[in-house]
Amino acid sequence: MKSSGPNTNESWWRQYNYWHETVLAMLIVGLLLSASVLSPSFTTVKTQVGLSSDMWELALLALPMTLIIITAGIDLSIGSIMALSAVVLGMTFEAGANPWVAAMCGIMAGTACGVFNGLTVAKLKVHPLIVTLATLAAFRGIAEGISLGRPISGFPASFTELGTGTFGGVPIPGLIFGVLALLFAIALARTPFGLSIYAIGHNPLASRYSGLPVARITVAVYALAGTVAGLAAAIYVARRNTAKADIGTGLELDVITAVVLGGTSIFGGSGRILGTLLGVLAIHQTRKFVGWYWDREELNFIVVGVLLIAAVLLNRLFDKKTK
């Protein structure tokens, strides 16, 4: 996590802590530069804002996922939580509630799903991969069941602004994401909660023996993922003006890819919000450019796969110095 200290024999670049982020940022800049040469219209602000519209759910979910992966956990169920939250939102709205009240209900449903995941992991000691693999199916099943697969639409324009509106030229989902990213970054870097998350990821037993509230923190990170999934669901519903049980399918894998690409160790203990931001950006830009320039959807998957493996190898290269 930290470099090996101010040993005079070590040159500055061995002590520099942000190699992963730096290289990733350079990659993104390189990509954008080449893109601006190949297709100048791709790098205009207008195009970028337009292309960003479907990035925000992924970006939002990557924040709590970073925390979860730092605790050496994983959450595969976030896409399904999104679906369940969206369905709760839609049905509450359909029953006559104010859309904002409906959105709050959706977020609460998402939080409840997250708390369920967290309690099962922390109290029943079931591996998070198993727990969330099960709830990945279960939450979507519930969403399908209660909505009968029926899309719900007809939200008022005042609500759809949440997904489509801009404020000072910035999309509203982007603003929400910015505020949350800042809060998550502060929580991780500057609060007891954040340091405890790292400690738990490295060594849950020693954390427990040091008096850290391991169970409570574990529940909290999964609950946060549920809350943010509920929020992402509200944004998605507002953007598409549709609540349906099939939203967010497969999103969890994109989110995990972005977080790992951002330098968070899948084995827990290390990672930063800054890295995750860059991971999200790298995936988003690569995808959009491939789609924009070659107009071939299937290339996306290959490019993202190559990026991910490259990032993991990169991470290992810079990790060596602390090993």
The residues of the shown chain that bind another protein, judged by CB under 8 A, are: 1-7, 186, 190-192, 194-196, 198-199, 202-203, 205-213, 269-270, 322
CB atoms within 10 A of CB 302: 11
Query: Least distance (Å) from another protein to the CB of residue 209?
Result: 5
- Alpha-carbon gap, residue 204 to 315, rounded angstroms: 23
Residue among 239 and 272 whose Cβ is closer to another protein = 272
Residue among 1 and 29 whose Cβ is closer to another protein = 1
- Alpha-carbon gap, residue 73 to 65, rounded angstroms: 9
Query: Least distance (Å) from another protein to the CB of residue 270?
Result: 8
What CA–CA distances, in Å, run from 210 to 69, 193, 199, 206, 213?
A: 21, 14, 10, 6, 9
Residue among 214 and 229 whose Cβ is closer to another protein = 214
Please report the sign of the dihedral spanned by the C-alpha atoms of residue 300, residue 303, residue 306, residue 307. Answer: negative
Query: Least distance (Å) from another protein to the CB of residue 259?
Result: 19
Residue among 188 and 229 whose Cβ is closer to another protein = 188
Query: Least distance (Å) from another protein to the CB of residue 69?
Result: 16
User: Is residue 229 a contact partner of residue 114, using CB atoms and an 8 Å limit?
Assistant: yes
Q: Which helix (H) or strand (E) holds 235?
A: helix 214-240
Listing DSSP states for 149-183 in one string gives T--EE---HHHHHHHH-EETTEEHHHHHHHHHHHH
Residue among 257 and 265 whose Cβ is closer to another protein = 265
Residue among 67 and 238 whose Cβ is closer to another protein = 67
Query: Least distance (Å) from another protein to the CB of residue 316?
Result: 15
User: Is residue 258 a contact partner of residue 58, using CB atoms and an 8 Å limit?
Assistant: yes
The structure tokens 């609460």 sit at 108
Q: Which helix (H) or strand (E) holds 304?
A: helix 297-319
Q: Residue 19: name the closest of 314, 322, 238 by CA.
A: 314
Residue among 83 and 197 whose Cβ is closer to another protein = 197
Tokens linked to 131: 């727990």
Query: Least distance (Å) from another protein to the CB of residue 190?
Result: 5
Query: Least distance (Å) from another protein to the CB of residue 269?
Result: 6
